[in-house]
Amino acid sequence: MSYKEDIERGVELLQLCQKLQSEKDGIDRPELHVIDKTKTLDQFARDISKSATWMSSLYKLVPMMDDLAKLGRKLESEGKIRVDYGDDYSEAALNYLLEQNGLKETPRV
């Protein structure tokens, strides 16, 4: 399964969660990303909507993380960064770029 399919499945599960909760408590909530003033937009519906929005942000973030990981492996091969066991190439690459551009201080040991 691709990451896109996983994201879609996550959003589907959130929709199902809202549907089941609505049936259980008898509240008619709008479907995700639908404005329907005849339905109840309570805190639960807002939380589900916010979670689906965060889940959907992964469509953009996962490819960025993959690109940063590629960059991290390249920077490591050039000796510009050191990635230890358990460290993350994408995080190391981003930290390197931020430090090189004066946007993050180098941690002092």
* C-alpha to C-alpha distances, 14 to 8, 10, 65, 102, nearest whole angstrom: 10, 6, 24, 40
Q: What string of pLDDT tens digits covers the 109 residues of the chain?
A: 799 999 999 999 999 999 999 999 999 999 988 888 999 999 999 999 999 999 999 999 999 999 999 999 999 999 999 999 999 999 999 999 999 999 986 555 4
Looking at residue 105, its pLDDT comes to 67
For residue 31, give both structure tokens: 């479907």
**Residue spans per domain, the chain:** 3-56, 61-100
Looking at residue 106, its pLDDT comes to 58
Helix (H, G, I), strand (E, B) or coil at 27: coil
**Helical residues (DSSP H) of the chain, grouped into ranges:** 3-25, 43-56, 58-77, 89-100
Distance CA 87, CA 76 (A): 12
* C-alpha to C-alpha distances, 82 to 63, 85, 102, nearest whole angstrom: 22, 10, 19
Distance CA 10, CA 1 (A): 13
